[in-house]
Amino acid sequence: MTRTMSARAAMIAALAAATLVGTVTSASAASASSSGDDAYVTNPSEQGLIELYSTPDPGQIGPMNWEGSLGGWGPGNFESRHWADNDYTEIQFTGCAVSSGTGTSVTVKLWQAIPFSLDKDMGNKTFTNCFNGASYTSRGEWNAHYDNGDNRYFTIPAINGSGTIRTTVSVSKVYVDTSLAD
Question: Which residues lie closer than 8 Å to 136 by C-beta, 6 or more apart?
Answer: 94, 95, 129, 130
* 8 or 47, which is more confident: 8
* 133 or 13, which is more confident: 133
Q: Residues 12, 14, 20, CA angle at the centre, nearest 5°?
A: 100
**Predicted confidence (pLDDT) per residue in 82-93, tens digit:** 888 878 899 999
pLDDT at residue 24 in the model: 38
- Whether 34 shows a pLDDT value over 60: the answer reads no
Residue 28 DSSP symbol:
-
Cα gap 8→28, rounded to integer Å: 31
Q: How confident is the model at residue 144 (pLDDT cuts 50, 70, 90)?
A: confident
- Whether 36 shows a pLDDT value over 50: the answer reads no
pLDDT at residue 55 in the model: 46
Mean pLDDT of 56-84: 78
Maximum distance among all Cα pairs of the chain, rounded to whole angstroms:
83
* 127 or 81, which is more confident: 127
| Domains of the chain, CATH where assigned | 66-177 (2.60.120)
**Predicted confidence (pLDDT) per residue in 78-122, tens digit:** 999 988 887 889 999 999 999 999 999 999 999 999 888 899 999
Question: Would you mind telling me the total number of residues written for the chain in this entry?
Answer: 182
